Each structure stands twice: as C-alpha cells, then as structure tokens.
Amino acid sequence: MMNYLYAAAVAVIFSLGFSSCSSSDSSKNDGPNPTTPKEQKAYMETVAQELLSQVSASDFDPIRNLAEYVKNNITRASSSSSKTQVIDDFFENAVKACTQVDQPDYVKYLFIGSNFAATFRYDGSRWQQVSTGGNSLQFLFTDDKGQQCSAIITKSGNEKEVHSSLFDEVKNRYVYDGGSYTPITKTTEYRFMVPEKVTATLTQGDATLATVDVSIDISGLSNELNFQTDFTEVTVYANILSYTLAIDRLVAKGGGNASINVDLSKNGNSLISADVYAENVSATITDRKVKDWTAGRGVVNIDVLGKVQVMGTVSNIRQFADAIEETGSYTRDEAKFKSSVEKVNNMFDVGVYYSGNTDPKSYFKLYPFSEEKYGETRWNAEPVIYFSDGSSYSTLKDFFDKDTFNGVIKKFEQLVTDFRNKFTI
C-alpha cells in the first residue's frame, strides 16, 4: 500500500509541483473553477495526464543512439590495446599538473581549466591527440553515417580561485608500527579556478543536439568562500533537442537574500517551472560542516502548464525547520505534540490555485494522528489538504486514491521505465 501511495505522490508532485506561477497571470479569475474535492481531483488528474503525455523518452533518441555508437565503436577497448589510452594518459597528467602539494598527510590541488585543454580526434582505430592548450576540451569523431560529430567544453572570461573546507576530504587510518597503532590523518584540499562562463556543446553533422551555457558572477566571491558575506549569481541555459532548462537566475548573498527561477519547456512552451525566494540567508562552516545556518521569510510559487499553481509562504524558514524537528520530541505527549503541530501550521500558508484564479481552492496543513505502538500511544503528523467546501483529505492516504490517479501512476512509472531502458547502454 505504501509503495502505491509513494508512487502516487511522486507522480502527481512531478506533474503538479515543481514549477512557478510565472507563466500565468494571477490577476485573472476566468479559468476553470473546480471547487469540490471530486472536481479538484479530476482536474489535477487531467492536467497531470496532459503534462506526462508531452514528455517521451523517444524524444532523446538522437543522443541515445549517438552515445550507444560511441560506447560500442569508439571507446570500447580491443583485446590488444586501448582506444582511449592517449585520453587516459592526458587526464592523468592534467591532474598531476594541478597538484601543488603531495605529502603523505597533506595533498593540495588547484584545478585549472587550461590544464585540461586539448583536442582529440578518433582516426578510425583509436583516439589521437592533435593539439594541446587553449580554452577548450574537444572530442571529434565520425558517426556510423559518416557525419562529423563533436563534444566540446569551452571556458571564457576571467577566473577566480575559490576554496571551502566543504570541498576537502579528510581520511583517518591507523598504522601499526610494531608495538602499537598510530593514528594518521590525511587531508586532501581541493581548490578551483572558477571561470565566468562555461559552454558545452554536442553536435552531429549540421545538428546541435545539446548546448549548455553557464554564466557565473565571480566578482562577489572570496578566495575562501564566506557563506555569510559572499555574493554570486548563476545563470544556466540547457538546450537538449526540443527541451530547454533555464535557471534564470540563481542569486545568493550571504546574510542577504537568495532566489532561484527554473523553467522547463518543450518547443518553446513551458511545461513546469519554479520560483523560490528566501530572505536573510547565511551559514558558517565548521569542521567541514554547515552550521548555524539561518533563513528568514520564504516564498514559493509553483505552476504546471499555466493550469495548476501552488503558491505559499513560510514566515521564517529556520524557525519552521526547528519547529518541525521539535514535533519529534513529543510523540508520546498528546498535548505538547498537538501544540507543536499548531505552531508549525501557523508558520506556513500554502494554497492550490487553478489557471490564475486569485482565490485558493484548497490549502495544506499538518494534522496530528495517533497510533498504538508497543502498547502505548504514539503521535505523528501528516499533511492534509483542506478544500473550500470545508472537507479535508489526508494527502497521501485519501486524496491520491487509486481509483482517480491510477492512470497517472501507470503513465509516470512507464515513463521512468522508458528512460531507464533508453539510457541503460
């Protein structure tokens, strides 16, 4: 039963949850107006079916077929030699060039893109290195139809060295010296030269199968990253055949605000998108762990196909997280548990809207439930969806029932299976 509920939740959340209201005009109030639980379930099921029908694993056949050809004909080693030996040697030497300190207890790397710049071409039997240096790493080859293909990663703009203890690796081991075990600690420090822009492209003949552009504002980054004061802005545009994933923009300022806008579209039409915003975000790093993080008011706007929106606010994200954790301390105390759940409910307001209607047709809250376990009463909370007619459903157990959402579940599971089969090369 729980497997079904989990699948139902994932499928419908996939279809209705990871998006933003940016594609709709919230000032309008002329869209569909499902009100009762039955009407809303039917409408959600229809929209979920519509979204899932627009995504197909076969859309990615050109990339899948090219990847399969590369694996079976260009990278697979023969019994006598490796087709990729020159590439393997190049990367081994590139990592060595990035090694600044190499001691038994301390290793330090500074990864620089120019150390990995080279051009390789497949000559029909093995890869050959045709050039070194520059700002790009290129792989050139011919496919089974005689078309010229390329996979290229290029960096451009200024660069800045950055480091955080979060990147580092610490390993502890004991060495036996004949009489006792001596503790040995080895620290590996990773530093990176971050460029302002990175572009990756995959081409086949005259067609560009994929392009990914990443732009990074490095001016506000410290050499030793400070999550309390540093600022950055990241923009990502990924065009993969008929699909576009746009992250426009990810903005983060230590001690200030953070926001992200994500949109997934197909053939120029938005499928799902997300706007998330948080105030006064900061954190400290101690012993390679994030500690003392804070975040104030949060806002999330989510939308699918311009037909279903989930919009809400959290009064204080850190306090909200602490309040949820606090409920776990009172699972044996009914009064305190219910009080802590009410505290959580008072801190967030999330509603479901349809096609830009300004009034929410349903909203989410936590509801306390009890169960007998090992001879005593235990309390837990589950998300419940409340409707404008005053009724409510437990989001997982009742609302996502098998009768209504079975078709969505099957289509979602089939889509996952199709992608798994398509890219298990």
Q: Is the pLDDT of residue 362 over 60?
A: yes
pLDDT of residue 81: 64
Taking only the tens place, the pLDDT of each residue in 368-396 is 999 888 888 999 998 999 887 778 877 76
By the 10 Å C-beta count (0-12 exposed, 13-18 middle, 19+ buried), 137 is classed as buried
Q: Lowest mean pLDDT of 79-88, 113-122, 164-173, name the range.
A: 79-88
Please give the average per-residue pLDDT across 237-260, as a whole number: 90
CA-atom Rg of the chain in angstroms: 27
Q: Are 118 and 109 in contact (CB under 8 A)?
A: no
> What's the Cα-to-Cα distance from 111 to each of 87, 95, 219, 248, rounded to whole Å?
18, 8, 19, 27
Regarding beta strands 181-204 and 207-216, do their DSSP bridges make them parallel or antiparallel, or are they unpaired? antiparallel
Q: Lowest mean pLDDT of 69-83, 241-255, 355-369, 370-384, name the range.
A: 69-83
- pTM higher than the cut 0.85: no
Task: Compute the C-alpha angle 6/7/11, nearest 5°.
Answer: 120
Q: Are 348 and 313 in contact (CB under 8 A)?
A: yes
Within 13 Å of residue 211, how many CA atoms lie on the same side as its CB?
A: 7
Taking only the tens place, the pLDDT of each residue in 118-145 is 999 999 889 999 999 899 999 999 999 9
Q: What are the sequence ranges of the domains in the chain?
A: 2-422
CA–CA dist 224, 265 (Å, integer): 37
pLDDT bracket for residue 279 (50, 70, 90): very high
